[in-house]
Amino acid sequence: MTHALTATRPTPLLRTSLADRLAATRAALTRTTKTPAPSQIHADLLTAYAEQRAVMPLFDLMADSDTPDYRAAFRVEQCLRELLAAVIKAPTPTTLDGLGTLALAMAIDAEGNLNGHRGDCEPEYARAARALVILTRVDLPAGFTGFGDEPDHEAREEALMSGPVSVPAWARTDAA
């Protein structure tokens, strides 16, 4: 008794289809992008964070969210949030540098969330971020106001919000 699969010959269309799929797979494998090193991601986080800190006072100063400056500031905030999400959602780091980058991202994400008010994240997340920062000995960036339970947290936030505003040129271009 012969089985249908052994007795049936592949048609030319099937062979072409498999050959095309193989070629497409090979092409896709050659196009794969290399993941940036944790040190580059760390530097990108610090840059995005510094830009976000420089636009923060604008959110308190402007009542109209339809201005070009407000849209540009919002774009800066959005870019930082996208970068944080990408780092946090990435596979678990396997190096100390990678873990340090994750700690930095989590700390920025959890900034101010232990102030007794409901924030964007759970208190446990903020405590885990703080523990990772301590464990990896990551330096928190300039302008970091803390996790929210420090005695001078509110004063640091007030100082940040009363500082000068600086909107990056790339954000102004994106918002136009």
Say if CB 53 and CB 143 are below 8 A apart. Answer: yes
Question: Over 60: is that where the pLDDT of 159 sits?
Answer: yes
Quick: pLDDT tens for 19-48.
666 667 666 665 555 678 888 999 999 999
Higher model confidence: residue 37 or residue 54?
54
Between CA 27 and CA 23 the distance in angstroms is: 6
Between CA 159 and CA 52 the distance in angstroms is: 15
Q: What is the pLDDT of residue 43?
A: 93
Lowest mean pLDDT across 24-28, 103-107, 123-127, 133-137: 24-28
Which amino acid belongs to residue 1? M
Give me the mean pLDDT over the 44-68 stretch: 86
